[in-house]
A = this chain, B = another copy of it.
Amino acid sequence: MAHGYISDKDDYLKRLRRIEGQIRGLQRMVDDEAYCIDILTQVPAATKALQTVALGLLDDHLAHCVADAARDGGPDADAKLKEASDAIARLVRA
């Protein structure tokens, strides 16, 4: 089965590469002994970019896998919902 995010695969990869660049930027700042507050200031940008990737994957998952399972009914629909709920809870509590 093709997952919901596949059509945007390149977009997700581009965003994850940008986040990788942000993490490498943090390493460079630590290595250059930058001012602590200046390093700290960059961290929320990276965590928010990661959250946005996660929310995008979750949207695609709800709109495809979960909606398809709901349409087909049966025990798989409940299992997919439970799985999505657990993933949402982990994101909210992260």
Chain A interface, >50% SS class: helix
CA distance A88 to B52 in the complex (A): 11
Seed contacts A37-B84, A40-B58, A44-B90; 10 additional CB < 8 Å A-B pairs: A9-B30, A16-B30, A23-B23, A36-B61, A40-B54, A44-B94, A48-B93, A55-B88, A58-B85, A63-B78
In the complex, which range does the number of interface residues on chain A fall in?
A: 35 or more
Chain A positions within 8 Å of B, measured between CB atoms, are: 2-6, 9, 12-13, 16-17, 19-20, 23-24, 26-27, 30-31, 33-37, 39-41, 43-44, 46-48, 50-51, 53-55, 57-63, 65-67, 70-71, 73, 77-78, 81, 83-85, 87-94
**Copies of this chain, count:** 4
Complex contacts, A20 vs chain B, CB 8 Å:
20, 23-24, 27
Complex contacts, A47 vs chain B, CB 8 Å:
47, 50-51, 94
Shortest beta-carbon contacts, A-B, top 5: A44-B94, A70-B70, A36-B61, A67-B70, A43-B54
